[in-house]
Chain A
């Protein structure tokens, strides 16, 4: 799951975020100072110090872009030909919208706000819905409201063409002023300033994707709703006033399910009722009775089922009985039942997704608290837990290297600060190792990696960082010293501290001087030198001088703030904030001397701010920022926190509460790739430690020396086998077709006896003992399967014969643990027997099943063709929807939730525990999918539709087939690795359509359903869904947060390990992305590059020579032209129409050939692709019933068959079949619902270049639920470098190289 952010605002107006994957607050860039923030996962809305509304949108590699279009219409007349001047008065305008109802001139189309910019000028769309148009994009018709065609005919009197232009939202990663005046208040925004904003509502069931509700409150107590805020229009359109029914509002809060609560000036709380997906504004307000007369609420925050409030006197309240998901049926569930006073004094509460709660302590505004133990069953949680997290320098993200360095550094830093606090708390001083060793290690590794001599030449970033690190570690050590001695030897302490301070400062100023001399204009350099000198003077009167200093600065700032607040008549909350923060500083300053603990804390804070200040300073000095102004200023207190965008569930806790991984354990070098940008990649990996490699090498040498020459010696200990026994249930394939008890014997052994190991299953068949036995070596796959008929977990064992017949041995275990036990035992024994151990090779075939399991097949080294049913598939840990591999051993996967994962090079994980997994490279993996159940009803004349069906009917709550009862309460997650997230909700958009309440109708149950009620519809059903989340482990690492639909890696092997590898992907919304910086040793790459398209895409493939093909949503294909080394994203798309109007859904490009699958599972081959004509000429039909195709580097064709295709008969080029039998074939084959089959097959007889389409199918492969397959890395072992063994590819390559010089021939002219 990608990291999400907790937002907070400090009293200086700076905004910070804390990532669930991070361990420190990062400052949000921007020049705007804010007072409040309301965050959602996608964006954050804030109130600025100028009381305007601001919007912050996270930048993403996929830009927010909108298409603007207009149609140019023309009519023919005999004099002028086609012209826009001679339209009839009854015709549409010369420029209009698609329907022709509105005048739409190109110039009248303006940008909605200054945060948008045009991507390009207007251009003509040359293919409309997959159909090519005439030259110039014209489409012809007899008259305007008619069918348009691409051909100009004798009776074509009118024509039109479509112009399109894209605009792009560019104000991402910044606070953008939200334009839009309040109706009635025009010129001066300060006349009625905004005081609060609330964003949320993203989880309201089944609303338009990406819609966000935004509400705001003005100083006059009026409430406004922002219209039309959604992912493509983040700013919305305008403010619409919502009647507040005479109650003036001060604060407002919106939950993820559009639960809306507001606080009024007189401390009342009210709830908005009637909010639905069709009416996001709601209908009316309902006042919530306070717990007592004297309770006046100041602030409220709502989630889905959790509502929290703060009343005067910092009392915290929890509202019982709220359930926003049931709001539509039961209004009282929006209001809840009773207030419960909670322990603790909080100034502010924020409720996030999953009803997790954050708060600000009323007394110590430096602390953000998190409510521990909030679960769906215990919404009020257990205790408050402080987040002891430092503020970090956001500006240090200037390069990926430094950021990773600073990550490590900050982790150790944070750890040590935690230790510090701990130390103060217990008032004892054990040796603190991380302080001493942490930074050292960090700087050591730095030195090892990058700069051999410490403190050498000034000017490199690394050294600068290193300097600051050294100084901070010095100051830390000193600080530790100080706090130790402070009580007894204050004098000594002072001098010592002074000394250290001096050395520290001089150190810094050195850096600065050199630095500025090199990079910053001289004047600035002098300035900062001055500053450094100033700071150097200050330590003289420490520690008494310092708090005063800071006190002064802080007081002024908070005074400023309270002025602003008073001027704008803000509620008491913010005022309280400001004063309390001053007070706390006051208290700190005055009590400092007397209270030793406080003093320690203070010193600690100071030295922390010193170190962080210096770090920030050194990092930002490039930008010429003032680095030492706040050197001795303690961090400003928090005034606001928003957890609305911070997703925390009970299964994956953020990093905040776990100690940073110790980098001092010496278990090898921390492996930091040169391009590491994520902390997680820096994880210590033992198996890459040099000593381990040496040890392993020696062990292999030992074997070569001591064992191999003497293989023919007799073994001193004869290996005997041992038997694992168990009682399971066996599915009898023949009559009586039911589960029977059986005893299982798995004979295991190692070494030579291995091949005699047998698998035996004894069972009873009509009172007679029978048994089933086969050698372990015959097993080709063992996996967990769904079996509807048995509540117990079921595993399936495939042998070659049974694979061909598609009848595995199915065994049911009584517990999950038992199943895992057997599965791993059989699987490991088979792997050992087949010699498949360790990590899969870089040329393996990867596949996934509908359960999300991942399987790998190792092809023979010389690519000899193995019959499909004899391929041995072994499982890898993890849960993925698809896995794609390619050249250089690069493997990426995509989860069911669209998250991208990169193969991290290990093996095992998941159920393979302990020594069955690789020692490194196994990480936590999560995935989310929906579980569906159906509610069925039958109509009867008395009550209409009700849950009373006929006795013969299906269960009233069932699975899709109706054979299995699935109640809301009784439906369990697929395995114990899965957990429910959220509750059951109605799916309003099931496949096939539904009415407004989600019902689908049919005449009788086993029938096809439609989304409206017909006169003879007697039954109906609706689909309920619930999110489930899996937490497992596997050799996968999360790739940067970009949700993907498809992914493709080039088939070519890179010539060297530093050659860039082409990796393309399709985002969930159809954007085409190209990954930059992917190399063999760094498969995760660096960044995404967005490739603009005119329509959403569905599938992508990268063939030999970086030939990129995609399929579009309209079913046509596109070929990317102009891809070169310098321009890896190419220049333009060539449109390739779909074959015979059959929409293509998937494409796969091998070394030279291109294959595609259409929506109805027909397989097509692109004919006559040559080097000069890389897009080919036409599609040839090859075979029906193909769900997926994967073409490898030797143009080998593998498929997932939906149903076994014709048995070995080769249908010749089937154009004739096409025209005549098209419909018939389709009717005959029927439409098999996806996921119900899925069998691995491959094409025999492919010979390049003579028979690129091969001869026959071998579809005897493993199957039943396979959903993805990738053979794109599957090439001969050690291909001779530089020589292309593949004739066709060689020709293409050769010609290509020759033509590169004058490549303008086919690079410039799109052929359509």
Chain B
């Protein structure tokens, strides 16, 4: 059970300083607007935090009424349905802070991004993630046993950045039965320019021993971590929630504590060279 408040709190309070710039070719006013600086929760999603940005920049752009806002980092459109922390770790972990993003209101990259009609879309995406994770963890028994208002509290906790509210419910999702572990581990492994990997992975071995983070990446991404030597060379970094947990960390503990609010462990493989 997730009971390490110190770690949970620290993760929850994770913030990224972001500098939002309006794309130069979309500026319709006389002068280029000042960038907008915000502290954004790592655990959240961009549509939840973009209100201020949108309001700020709207007046500087012309015919953008009704156009959907999207973000871009160094030519890379950012997927709104990834937690912000994942996007940062994946694309920008070596960048200088604040993280500089370009705000677009035009030319929505239809092939690369999904449309986000509103916060409801984020909520349904979030809840489906949580359900999927619980299916992996407990065959969905916990989430299905919850009431509608519990689901709502989970979402409101995330949306309004309320740790206690969120964890009051999320605790139950992090409980494990007599086996001392989840059925399967809900995780996604990202690499830049590759589709993300998701697989069934049991947090313990057949013999009942806890499996470690090292075991996971070696199994799921053998092309990257195929040999001990390469592992040690440090060419690839394994980043979760902005930190690099040691390879000997048990995955069960990671899942309980380092999962994003959607209950998935988002693991980013970052090439450090």
Residue-by-residue, is A696-717 near B (CB-CB < 8 Å gives 1, otherwise 0)? 1011111101110110011111
A666: Cβ under 8 A from any B Cβ: yes
Within 8 A of B (CB), among A725-766: 748-751
Cα distance A179–B253 when bound, in Å?
A: 62
Cβ A666 vs Cβ B39 within 8 A: no
A1210: Cβ under 8 A from any B Cβ: no
Residue-by-residue, is B13-45 near A (CB-CB < 8 Å gives 1, otherwise 0)? 111110000000000000000000111110010
Most chain A CB within a 10 A radius of its CB, from B11, B14, B164: B164
> Interface segment, B184-192, B237-245, B262-270?
B237-245
Q: Which residues of B contact A696 (CB under 8 A)?
A: 6-7, 10
Cβ A431 vs Cβ B206 within 8 A: yes
Asked whether A703 and B13 contact (CB < 8 A) given A666-B212, A691-B245, A709-B97, the answer is yes
Asked whether A714 and B37 contact (CB < 8 A) given A705-B97, A706-B242, A709-B97, the answer is yes
Q: Which residues of B contact A665 (CB under 8 A)?
A: 180, 208-210, 250
Q: Can you report 29 residue pairs joining A to B where beta carbons are below 8 Å apart?
A: A433-B208, A437-B207, A437-B209, A666-B250, A691-B249, A694-B245, A695-B246, A696-B7, A698-B244, A703-B10, A706-B15, A709-B97, A710-B37, A710-B39, A710-B97, A713-B17, A714-B37, A714-B39, A716-B40, A716-B41, A719-B160, A750-B162, A750-B163, A837-B6, A914-B171, A915-B2, A915-B171, A919-B4, A919-B5
Residue-by-residue, is A636-668 near B (CB-CB < 8 Å gives 1, otherwise 0)? 000000000000000000000000001011110
What would 13 more interface pairs be, CB under 8 Å, given A437-B208, A691-B245, A722-B162?
A433-B207, A433-B208, A664-B207, A691-B246, A695-B243, A702-B243, A707-B17, A714-B52, A717-B44, A722-B160, A748-B164, A828-B164, A919-B6
Q: Looking at the assembled complex, report how far the CB atom of A753 sits from the nearest CB atom of chain B, in whole angstroms.
A: 11
Cβ B39 vs Cβ A715 within 8 A: yes
Residue-by-residue, is B87-104 near A (CB-CB < 8 Å gives 1, otherwise 0)? 000000000011000000
Cα distance A687–B13 when bound, in Å?
A: 20
Q: Which residues of A contact B40 (CB under 8 A)?
A: 716
Q: Looking at the assembled complex, report how far the CB atom of A1140 sits from the nearest CB atom of chain B, in whole angstroms.
A: 54
Cβ B208 vs Cβ A664 within 8 A: yes
Within 8 A of B (CB), among A434-469: 436-437
Q: Which residues of B contact A1245 (CB under 8 A)?
A: none
Q: Which residues of A contact B212 (CB under 8 A)?
A: 666
Q: Which residues of A contact B38 (CB under 8 A)?
A: 713-716
Q: Looking at the assembled complex, report how far the CB atom of B120 sits from the nearest CB atom of chain A, in whole angstroms.
A: 17
Asked whether A707 and B52 contact (CB < 8 A) given A667-B253, A695-B245, A716-B38, the answer is no
A917: Cβ under 8 A from any B Cβ: yes
> Total interface residues on A, using CB and 8 Å?
49
> Total interface residues on B, using CB and 8 Å?
51
Cβ B5 vs Cβ A915 within 8 A: yes
One of B15, B210, B250, B253 near A707 (C-beta < 8 A)? B15
Cα distance A4–B55 when bound, in Å?
A: 72
Q: Looking across the interface, which residue of chain A has its beta carbon closest to that of B52?
A: A716
B167: Cβ under 8 A from any A Cβ: yes
Cα distance A676–B49 when bound, in Å?
A: 52
Q: Looking at the assembled complex, report how far the CB atom of B46 sits from the nearest CB atom of chain A, in whole angstroms.
A: 9
Cβ A706 vs Cβ B164 within 8 A: no
Cα distance A720–B3 when bound, in Å?
A: 25
Asked whether A915 and B167 contact (CB < 8 A) given A694-B245, A695-B243, the answer is yes
Q: Looking at the assembled complex, report how far the CB atom of A54 sits from the nearest CB atom of chain B, in whole angstroms.
A: 46
Cβ A433 vs Cβ B167 within 8 A: no
Cβ B210 vs Cβ A666 within 8 A: yes
Residue-by-residue, is B146-171 near A (CB-CB < 8 Å gives 1, otherwise 0)? 00000000000001111111010001
A686: Cβ under 8 A from any B Cβ: yes
Q: Which residues of B contact A703 (CB under 8 A)?
A: 10, 13-14
Q: Looking across the interface, which residue of chain B has its beta carbon closest to that of A748?
A: B164
Cα distance A720–B14 when bound, in Å?
A: 18
Q: Which residues of A contact B250 (CB under 8 A)?
A: 665-667
Cα distance A700–B4 when bound, in Å?
A: 15
Most chain B CB within a 10 A radius of its CB, from A714, A717, A750: A717
Cα distance A30–B165 when bound, in Å?
A: 62
Cα distance A916–B4 when bound, in Å?
A: 9
Q: Looking at the assembled complex, report how far the CB atom of B69 sits from the nearest CB atom of chain A, in whole angstroms.
A: 14
Cβ B39 vs Cβ A667 within 8 A: no
Q: Looking at the assembled complex, report how far the CB atom of B92 sits from the nearest CB atom of chain A, in whole angstroms.
A: 11
B8: Cβ under 8 A from any A Cβ: yes
Cβ A707 vs Cβ B39 within 8 A: yes
Identify the A interface with B (CB < 8 A): 431, 433, 436-437, 662, 664-667, 686-687, 690-692, 694-696, 698-703, 705-707, 709-710, 713-717, 719-720, 722, 748-751, 828, 837-838, 914-919
- Total A-B pairs in contact (CB under 8 Å)? 146
Cβ B161 vs Cβ A695 within 8 A: no
Q: Which residues of B contact A710 (CB under 8 A)?
A: 15, 17, 37, 39, 97-98
Q: Which residues of A contact B98 (CB under 8 A)?
A: 710, 713
One of B6, B48, B244 near A838 (C-beta < 8 A)? B6
Cα distance A686–B44 when bound, in Å?
A: 28
Q: Looking at the assembled complex, report how far the CB atom of A420 sits from the nearest CB atom of chain B, in whole angstroms.
A: 16
Cβ B4 vs Cβ A687 within 8 A: yes
Most chain A CB within a 10 A radius of its CB, from B14, B15, B167: B15
Q: Looking across the interface, which residue of chain B has its beta carbon closest to that of A702?
A: B242
Cα distance A221–B253 when bound, in Å?
A: 66
Cβ A686 vs Cβ B7 within 8 A: no
B248: Cβ under 8 A from any A Cβ: yes
Q: Looking across the interface, which residue of chain A has its beta carbon closest to that of B51?
A: A716
Q: Looking at the assembled complex, report how far the CB atom of B126 sits from the nearest CB atom of chain A, in whole angstroms.
A: 15
Cβ B97 vs Cβ A919 within 8 A: no
Q: Looking at the assembled complex, report how far the CB atom of A919 sits from the nearest CB atom of chain B, in whole angstroms.
A: 4
Q: Which residues of B contact A719 (CB under 8 A)?
A: 160-162
Q: Looking across the interface, which residue of chain A has its beta carbon closest to that of B37?
A: A713
The 10 closest A-B pairs by CB, nearest first: A710-B17, A666-B210, A716-B49, A698-B243, A433-B207, A915-B5, A713-B39, A919-B4, A433-B208, A691-B246
Within 8 A of A (CB), among B46-103: 48-49, 52, 97-98
Most chain B CB within a 10 A radius of its CB, from A667, A710, A714: A710
Cβ A722 vs Cβ B165 within 8 A: yes
Q: Looking across the interface, which residue of chain B has its beta carbon closest to that of A749?
A: B162
Most chain A CB within a 10 A radius of its CB, from B11, B40, B207: B207
Q: Which residues of A contact B13 (CB under 8 A)?
A: 703, 707
Q: Which residues of A contact B44 (CB under 8 A)?
A: 716-717
Cα distance A666–B3 when bound, in Å?
A: 17
Q: Which residues of A contact B246 (CB under 8 A)?
A: 690-691, 694-695
Cα distance A667–B211 when bound, in Å?
A: 10
Q: Which residues of A contact B8 (CB under 8 A)?
A: 915
Q: Which residues of A contact B49 (CB under 8 A)?
A: 716-717
Cβ A433 vs Cβ B209 within 8 A: yes
Q: Which residues of B contact A700 (CB under 8 A)?
A: 10
Cβ B248 vs Cβ A691 within 8 A: yes
Q: Looking at the assembled complex, report how far the CB atom of A567 sits from the nearest CB atom of chain B, in whole angstroms.
A: 55
Cβ B3 vs Cβ A915 within 8 A: yes
Cα distance A914–B168 when bound, in Å?
A: 9
Cβ A686 vs Cβ B253 within 8 A: yes
Q: Which residues of B contact A715 (CB under 8 A)?
A: 15, 38-39
Cβ A706 vs Cβ B165 within 8 A: no
Cβ A662 vs Cβ B164 within 8 A: no
Q: Looking at the assembled complex, report how far the CB atom of B83 sits from the nearest CB atom of chain A, in whole angstroms.
A: 13
Q: Looking at the assembled complex, report how far the CB atom of B265 sits from the nearest CB atom of chain A, in whole angstroms.
A: 13
Q: Looking across the interface, which residue of chain A has its beta carbon closest to that of B48?
A: A717
Cα distance A703–B207 when bound, in Å?
A: 38
Cβ B48 vs Cβ A699 within 8 A: no
